[in-house]
Amino acid sequence: MSFQNITVIGAGTMGNGIAHVFAQYGFQVQLVDVQQAALDKALQTIGKNVERQVAKGVLSEADQKATLERIQTTTSIANGVAKADLVVEAATENKELKLKIFKEIDQSAPENCILASNTSSISITAIASATSRPNKVIGMHFMNPVPVMKLVEIINGYATDQTVTEQIVALSKQLNKVPCVVNDYPGFIANKILMPMINEAIYSLYEGIAGVEEIDTIMKLGMAHPMGPLQLADFIGLDVCLSILQVLYDGYGNTKYAPCPLLVNMVTAKKLGVKSGEGFYKYSPGSKELVVSERFK
């Protein structure tokens, strides 16, 4: 099967990044969101990120124009998926919502269409069970920022056909990404390893072993990570980190995944990181300077 028409469900940070990358590599993209305002904002963000690529010489001005022209938007899932060869769902990380969306996609998408989810931790097998085609459902987990990060973690559900996996591996390579295939268990691989590291960093702060800057500097300069674990947690969203840790804790029943009480408190207090303006650091629009939150000074 050759892919031409890609539908992306959800116009948030991950959805707009995924739409951007598919359009950049020549695919026709339908971007779907229930809110028109989210679609407008996504197009603006894609426009800015494509411009950034032109400024860096990654894209020519002709490519920039063609990339943007390949993206269409709609607020209707049924219309958006009607001609899709592949649907990539990147809606809010909520299991009930995803099951509902997949039921709806399944009813309107062509019979041969492959259905992928960008979920970071919800079971692909559970999502597949909401459809009439579990053998054509797969995880396609992109990393943020999507245009920059090379990895696509591909997750085989319990019933995913091997041919479907092979097609998604080949497609990921067409996007100039590096695919890695894993099996469907809680947190897959990326988050089964990343989230305990982030949780341990938060525990180290909570226990007073070191401060925010010390923890992040040790991991940045000592282990060559581009961001320290606390900055990365702010970048991902502390609510997202908490919800993934809960999936790991429930799924494996092991206390090593129990979320740090400080993380729980911060999410309850709506200190969610970059998106709320404050987490371990304080963020002001337009500034790249890293300022530790007053709470941790």
- Beta strand pairing call for 151-156 and 178-183: parallel
Task: Using CA atoms of 93, 97, 103, 105 in order, give the dihedral in degrees to the nearest 10.
Answer: -60
Strands 137-142 and 151-156: antiparallel
Applying CB under 6 A, does 66 fall inside the site for ligand CAA? no
Catalytic residue chosen out of the listed positions 89, 93, 153, 278: 153
Active site residue 112: no
Backbone angles phi, psi at 153, to 5 degrees: -85, 120
Nearer to ligand CAA, 87 or 233 (CB): 233
Match 């180290």 to its residue by tokens: 204
At position 187, the amino acid (one-letter code) is G
Residue whose CB is nearest to ligand CAA in the complex, by number = 120
Comparison of 7 and 49: residue with beta carbon closer to ligand CAA: 49
Min dist. Cβ of residue 140 to ligand CAA (A):
12
Q: Which CB, 55 or 62, lies closer to ligand CAA? A: 55
Question: Which of 67, 191, 204, 243 touches ligand CAA by CB under 6 A?
Answer: 191
Residue from 37, 56, 111, 254 in contact with ligand CAA (CB under 6 A): 56
Subset of 22-51 contacting ligand CAA (CB under 6 A) = 49
Give exposure, 243-275, as e/b (b: 16+ Cβ within 10 Å). bbbbbbbeeeeeeebebbebbbebbeeebbbbb
Task: Report whether 140 contacts 119 (CB < 8 A).
Answer: no
**Residue pair 122/95 in contact by the 8 Å Cβ criterion:** yes
Judged by beta carbon, residue 44 or residue 112, the one nearer ligand CAA is: 44
The pattern of x and - marking residues 138 through 167 that bind ligand CAA according to CB under 6 A reads: -----xxx-xxx------------------
User: Which residue's CB is nearer to ligand CAA, number 20 or number 133?
Assistant: 20
153 noted as active-site residue: yes
Smallest distance from the beta carbon of 208 to ligand CAA, in angstroms? 26
200 is catalytic: no
User: What angle (nearest 5°) sits at the alpha carbon of residue 184, between those of residues 8 and 84?
Assistant: 25
Out of 120, 125, 131, 160, the only residue in the binding site for ligand CAA (CB under 6 A) is 120
CB of 263 within 8 A of CB of 238?
Answer: yes
Which residue is catalytic, options 20, 49, 141, 278? 141
Taking CA atoms, 185 is separated from 89, 111, 178, in Å, by 19, 27, 21
**Residues 196-215 within binding reach of ligand CAA (CB under 6 A):** none
Q: Is the bond preceding 145 in cis, omega lying within 30 degrees of 0?
A: yes
Active site residue 120: yes
Q: Which is nearer to ligand CAA, 175 or 190 (CB)?
A: 190
Binding site for ligand CAA (CB under 6 A): 49, 52-53, 56, 120, 143-145, 147-149, 190-191, 226-227, 232, 236
Q: Known catalytic residues? A: 120, 141, 153, 191
